[in-house]
Structure formats: C-alpha cells, structure tokens
C-alpha cells in the first residue's frame, strides 16, 4: 500500500499559517489551516481587496503579513518587477524594478517563479535568470546576479521557471547553466556559488526535498532526467534518464510520496520511480504515455501538479480531463470532464485541506471549486467564479488564470494579468461582506 507522507524541511507549520514559497510551507500544495468554510454559494465569495499588478505567471507567496508577486512591463522598456503588498489591505509596501530584456522567450507575459521567503529575506528569480535577494520588509537589495551571463545559460524556450528552494544556508536553483550547472546552489547570505551539478538541459519543474535511506535528498527533474542529489554538496546519488520525445515541457512539480517519485508532462505522460529504502538508488515502477497529445494514457499534465491520496493519483490531463489512476500500476480508474473546460493545455490546481476530505480547486477559467476526490469519482461541494481570466498568459479561449494561488491565514490570494485579489474563507467571517 502506498500512503501519503507530508514532509517539512525548511518551514514549520502553524495555525494561521503563511504560504512562504512555491506550493506552500512544505512545497507540497497542502493547506493546513482550520476554521475554514466547508461550503459556499454561487457568487458568494467576494474579494476583500484588489490591487493592480501587471502581466506575469508568478503565483503569490505570503509571509509575516506581506504578499509577494512578480510581474513585467514592456512600456517604455522591458522590465521585471518584484512587488510586496500588505496582507490586510492590499496596499503596496514596496516595489523593485530592473531591466530584463526577454531573448527568445515564448509566452512572454512575465516572470514564472514564485518569490521564496525565508526569515527576513525574499529571493526572486526572473524569466531571464536575474536573481535578487532582498530585505523582505523593506525591499532593498542585499545581493543580486545575472545568472544568464554568469552561467552561460542554455535558456529553455519558456525561460527560467523553477522556484528557488532554501536548504540550510543554501538557495538551490534549476537554471540550465554551463558547464555542468543545470542545478546550482548559492550561499543564501552572499549569493556566492557553493556547488553546481549536472550537464542536463533545464526544465521548468521546481526542485523538492525528500527523505531516503535516512538522508535528505534533493530531487530535480531536469530536461533530460530525474536525479537525486546531496543538497549540501550537489553530489549525485542516482539518476534516471527521462529525455523528452518531442520537447522539454516538464512544468509540474515532482511528487515525492512514501519512497516514490512521480513526474508528469504534456507529451511524455507519467513516470513513477521507487526509492530504495536501504541505499541511495532508484528503480522504475511504471511509465504510462499515450500515442500523442490527444490519445493519452495515465496523466499527461501541462501545468498542474498531480495529487496523491492513499492508493490513487489524481491530476489534469493534456486537454483538461480530470483523471484518477491506481498508484501501483498507473491504470485509469475514472475520468471527468467537469472540473475545467476541455481544451489544449487546460489546467486546474488541486490543493487538499489537511485533516479533511476536501480539495480546493482553482481552474484556468477563474472558478474556485470545493470538492472531494475518491476512487468512486469527483464530487463538487461548491463552485463559483472569483477572478477574470486575462489574455496575456494565453491569448486563446478568452484568456486563462494559470498562476498558482496561495492559501494563507484563512484567505486565498490569487492573480491574473491585471490584479492581485484576496478572498476571506474563514468560517467566522461572513463571506458576503
């Protein structure tokens, strides 16, 4: 039996928890707060504040009463911005702007990687590889580096996207640098290089940490392989070749559960690896891939990271189909077409609420769903539209909302290409107000 294990490394959970990095405190996409509403009516959830932002894909992060997001402007010149807002009011606290000329970056709406907050510092990584370490409260620059120039980056077609990961005194990045610098670790206090690893091309997937054979292992899904590294030194523990059959399109974050690692992408389907428990080694369990992007098998995710619950895996397939798979074989149990519209690259983010059977879903149409997922099917408890799609992220089907939301301190924080909004989801607050 494969059971979910929720791991904590760099951040501690607390009641009224923050969301200080990509996919939450533990980078696992789990919301751990209590006192949250258990249903709502259509049209009931209204923003408590709205703040203007420019174009971008960066999902918000939340820490110490502040919200962080990145965006981009091209008039009168190409710049990226790191922005900080007051969590209670949405008022701008500080903003830092720097020149960032996009060179051959497809989908140029703006930065991709969520800002990582650790203690009193904010770490922001732009689409062209600009890394900035800022005072999280004041916004002044502590150190910065143009990684594109420093590491001769072989830039992925959609730019640098993997969110920075903090481990001890390091900040770990997937950048596709050369030579042998697909993954790098910098001293988080000074920005100086501490190690570099792998000659692989970069993907867009954020690195994660897990435990194996009594050791902390850094898992990276690059454009060529899935690898386990020593996070302190960058030394390679194991590597499974996983080259794309068409193009590098790995966006979804790897899922590490009970000595297994799952990765999934649009063209190459889903791959499950098993981590040995007595040594630092891996073996393939299954790889389910269809004939093409329409004739798919398992889950061919575009953006959304799959959710692993008990003995089953749930995720959004290449054209928006929500699917349930058996974790031990990858066999499909059911498929549902109602979570999000059916269209190429259609997606939705799945966020379980710890201690409950409820899953919060934000789909690309700007709808928030409260639902249950089980081997028996997909059950919607409540559903309502909360934010307008915008066409900067995708100029098709009336636009999309692809950015991952943040769930923190009883609220959902989310953005499109025009605004950042906050919605109160606490039971003690009347959401009609």
Task: Please give the Cα distance from 295 to 300 (Å, whole number).
Answer: 10
Tokens, residue 370: 């409260």
**Beta bridge mates, 211:** 216
Q: Which of 273, 271, 243, 245 is nearest to 260 (CA)?
A: 273
The band of 16, judged by pLDDT with boundaries at 50, 70 and 90, is low
Q: Is residue 148 part of a domain?
A: yes
Q: Is residue 245 part of a domain?
A: yes
| Cβ atoms 28, 206 nearer than 8 A | no
Q: Are strands 130-135 and 377-385 parallel, antiparallel or unpaired?
A: unpaired
Q: Is residue 316 part of a domain?
A: yes
| Cβ atoms 80, 111 nearer than 8 A | yes
The string of pLDDT tens digits covering residues 248-267 is 999 999 999 999 999 999 99
Q: Is residue 42 part of a domain?
A: no
Q: Are strands 49-52 and 61-63 parallel, antiparallel or unpaired?
A: unpaired
Mean pLDDT of 210-216: 97
pLDDT given for residue 345 in this prediction: 96
Report how many domains make up the chain: 1
| Cβ atoms 128, 160 nearer than 8 A | yes
pLDDT given for residue 41 in this prediction: 87
The string of pLDDT tens digits covering residues 367-388 is 999 999 999 999 999 999 999 9
Q: Is residue 17 part of a domain?
A: no
The band of 428, judged by pLDDT with boundaries at 50, 70 and 90, is confident
Q: Which of 110, 111, 98, 12 is nearest to 63 (CA)?
A: 12
CATH of the domain at 368: 2.130.10.10
Q: How far is CA 380 from CA 39, 303, 305, 322, 420, in A?
A: 10, 22, 20, 13, 26
The string of pLDDT tens digits covering residues 76-129 is 999 999 999 999 999 999 999 999 999 999 999 999 999 999 999 999 999 999
Task: Please give the Cα distance from 360 to 358 (Å, whole number).
Answer: 7
The band of 207, judged by pLDDT with boundaries at 50, 70 and 90, is very high
End-to-end distance of the chain based on CA atoms, in angstroms? Answer: 46
Res 328 pLDDT > 70? yes
Res 432 pLDDT > 80? no
Q: Is residue 202 part of a domain?
A: yes
Q: Which of 44, 138, 74 is nearest to 425 (CA)?
A: 44
Q: Is residue 15 part of a domain?
A: no
Range of the domain at 236: 49-424
Mean pLDDT, all residues of the chain:
94
Q: Is residue 431 part of a domain?
A: no
């Amino acid at each position: 039996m494969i059971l979910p294990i929720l791991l904590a490394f760099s951040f501690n959970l607390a009641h009224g928890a923050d969301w200080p990095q990509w996919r939450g405190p533990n980078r696992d996409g789990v919301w751990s707060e209590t006192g949250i509403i258990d249903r709502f009516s259509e049209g009931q959830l209204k923003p408590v504040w709205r703040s203007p932002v420019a174009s971008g894909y960066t999902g918000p992060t939340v820490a110490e009463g502040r919200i962080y997001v990145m965006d981009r402007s091209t008039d009168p010149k190409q710049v990226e911005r790191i922005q900080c807002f007051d969590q209670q009011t949405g008022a701008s606290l500080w903003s830092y702007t720097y020149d960032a000329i996009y060179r051959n970056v497809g989908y140029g709406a703006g930065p991709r990687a969520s800002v990582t907050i650790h203690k009193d510092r904010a770490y922001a990584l732009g689409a062209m590889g600009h890394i900035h370490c800022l005072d999280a409260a004041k916004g002044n620059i502590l150190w910065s580096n143009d990684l594109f120039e420093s590491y001769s980056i072989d830039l992925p077609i959609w730019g640098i996207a993997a969110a920075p990961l903090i481990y001890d005194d390091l900040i770990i990045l997937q950048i596709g640098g050369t030579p042998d610098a697909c993954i790098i670790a910098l001293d988080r206090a000074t920005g100086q290089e501490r190690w570099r690893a792998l000659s692989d091309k970069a993907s867009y997937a954020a690195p994660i940490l897990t435990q194996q054979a009594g050791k902390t292992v850094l898992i990276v899904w690059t454009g060529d392989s899935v690898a386990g590294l020593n996070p302190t030194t960058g030394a390679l523990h194991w590597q499974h070749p996983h080259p794309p059959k068409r193009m590098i399109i790995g966006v979804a974050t790897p899922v590490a559960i009970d000595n297994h690692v799952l990765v999934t992408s649009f063209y190459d389907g889903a791959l499950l690896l098993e981590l040995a428990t007595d040594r630092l080694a891996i073996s393939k369990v299954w790889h389910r891939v269809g004939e093409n992007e329409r004739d798919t098998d398992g889950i061919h995710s575009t953006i959304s990271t799959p959710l692993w619950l008990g003995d089953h895996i749930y995720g959004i397939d290449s054209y928006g189909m929500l699917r349930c798979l058996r974790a031990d074989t990858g066999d499909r149990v059911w498929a549902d077409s109602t979570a999000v519209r059916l269209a190429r690259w259609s997606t939705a983010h799945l966020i379980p609420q710890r201690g409950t059977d409820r899953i919060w879903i934000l789909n690309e149409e700007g709808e928030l769903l409260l639902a249950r997922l089980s081997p028996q099917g997909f059950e919607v408890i409540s559903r309502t539209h909360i934010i307008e799609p915008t066409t900067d992220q995708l100029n098709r089907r009336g636009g999309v909302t692809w950015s991952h939301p943040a769930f923190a301190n009883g609220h959902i924080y989310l953005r499109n290409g025009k605004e950042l909004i906050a919605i109160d989801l606490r039971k003690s607050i009347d959401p009609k107000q």
